[in-house]
Amino acid sequence: MRRLYTALFYAATPFILGRLAWRGLKLPAYRERWGERFARYATVPDGEGVVWFHAVSVGEAEAAFPLIRAFRARHPGLPILVTCTTPTGSARIEAVLGGTVAHVYLPYDLPGGVDRFLDRFRPRLGVILETEIWPNLYRECARRGIPLAIANGRLSEKSARGYGRIAGLVAESLAAVDLIAAQTPLDAKRYVAIGADPRKVAVAGNIKFDIEFPAPLREQASGLRETLFPGRPVWIAGSTHPGEEEQVLAAHALVRSVLPDALLILAPRHPDRFQEVRSLCYRTGIPLRCRGESLPCESGTGIFLLDSLGELRCFYGTADVAFVGGSLIPQGGHNVLEPAVAGVPVLFGPHMFNFAEIARRLEQCGGARLVADADGLAATVVGWLNRPDTRSEIGGKASAFVDENRGAVARVVELISGLLPGRLDSSRTVDT
């Protein structure tokens, strides 16, 4: 089955490159570094014995940063390589980790590229964040004796069903994995159901709870608020998607009918859509200011478009209320802990299947509320903006929820460190 998968991947490669070129019309970075997609790294020095972390895009990279820092603190002498597959993830890795790690794109899962990648960096350990299963890469790591771990592993019901349709290929791939550090018992159960060896599955918790909102970032957020929109009631919609911005903008029109001074910070998930969302905002007739203009909002400005990279977490800290996108449409939601750790009360829609457990628990503790549609979103935003004491109480519960659930990073570092001396054999298990 793996041979069929490889043949289909080869056949699809021209279409994949065509999509990169098309996306590059809006975001030129998609048209760059194509050689790295096939493990041709002209400007990267040879590595030897790296510990390799893979975070597919920006969300996984944000989760990986505390893990990488903690691992490096425990093993300061080991060189680290971080890979991803998107320009936004790459930009964030370079901004946060800079020259402290090697960084390249992970090549496509084709035999030639996989061989060149492993020959070039010769990893002593591979750590894959969340839900990434690459049959050729995993098989070659196993053949070379490179231990593999899936860290912060999660499987939604939808993903588990999808993998179940190619059960043989998935089971063969997971046989090459030495450790799966799952987020929850349900995730662990789903991994076993799709073919993972239960002796190599541990429940370690969600490393996203180890997110920080340190004092310098809090001060930066406060300064931005005073500079850009002082004295305004502010709410933010972060990581929004097509079909969702329209609902958010409709909600904002309702909010402004009650609170004319209210300002919406709108942050689309994908930078190649900035121009599209800018046009949507203009069509509302509500005065717009863009972050890229580097100018403060005027008194009549009603929308602030966050058309920049790497600033969402900081801007969550500038707001009085936060809505987390990907949730009013069937996208699965995004990380509600980013506003929660800043002490900002959180709203999300009904489609949170990628963060179902965290969203449920955050709502249960009183730090968040589920809204069904634009009307519900507007009503809750108005209610919270009008009640500072209530808002403060909800935000406090949100940040306390994050604090109470920290610790997964330390557990995962302990687990993956156990792989460093050598590969787990078939008789060895992990502590759960």
60 is catalytic: yes
Burial 367-406 (b: 16+ CB within 10 A, else e): bbbbbeebebbbebbbebbeeeeebeebbebbbebbeebb
| Closest alpha carbon to 337 in 206, 224, 219 | 206
* CATH number attached to the domain at 2-205+408-417: 3.40.50.11720
Instruction: Please state whether 231 falls in left (phi above 0), alpha (psi between -120 and 50) or beta.
Output: left
Tell me, what amino acid is at 305?
L
- What confidence tens digit (pLDDT) does each residue in 393-408 have? 999 999 999 999 999 9
Residue pair 351/331 in contact (Cβ under 8 Å)? The answer is yes
pLDDT of residue 44: 67
Architecture of domain 215-404: 3-Layer(aba) Sandwich (3.40)
Residue 187: exposed, middle, or buried by beta-carbon count in 10 A (0-12, 13-18, 19+)? buried
pLDDT digits (tens, 9 = 90+) for 232-246: 999 999 999 999 999
The pLDDT value recorded for residue 429 is 44
Cβ-contact 116, 122 below 8 angstroms:
no
How far apart CA 202 and CA 193 sit, in angstroms, is 14
According to the model, what pLDDT value does residue 156 have? 87
User: How far apart, in whole angstroms, are the C-alpha atoms of residue 427 and residue 347?
Assistant: 46
Burial class (CB in 10 A: 0-12, 13-18, 19+), 78: middle
Q: What is the pLDDT of residue 431?
A: 45
Element (H, E) at 54: strand 51-54
Residue 343 corresponds to which tokens in the numbers above?
Answer: 């002490």
For residues 152 and 174, is the Cβ–Cβ distance under 8 A? Answer: no
Instruction: From 165, 55, 49, 154, select the one nearest 104 (Cα to Cα).
Output: 55
CA-to-CA separations, 52 to 83, 131, 371, 409, in angstroms, rounded: 8, 16, 40, 16
Q: Which whole-number Å values give the CA distances from 429 to 51, 65, 197, 204, 276, in the listed order?
A: 22, 27, 9, 15, 51
| Residue ranges, the chain, pLDDT below 50 | 423-432
Q: Return the structure tokens found at 369.
A: 């509320």
Annotated domain spans of the chain: 2-205+408-417, 215-404
Query: Could you read off the pLDDT of 375-395 as tens digits, one per residue?
Result: 999 999 999 999 999 999 999
Would you state the pLDDT for residue 45?
59
- Among 60, 130, 244, 338, the one annotated catalytic: 60
Could you identify the residue written with the tokens 């909002």? 297
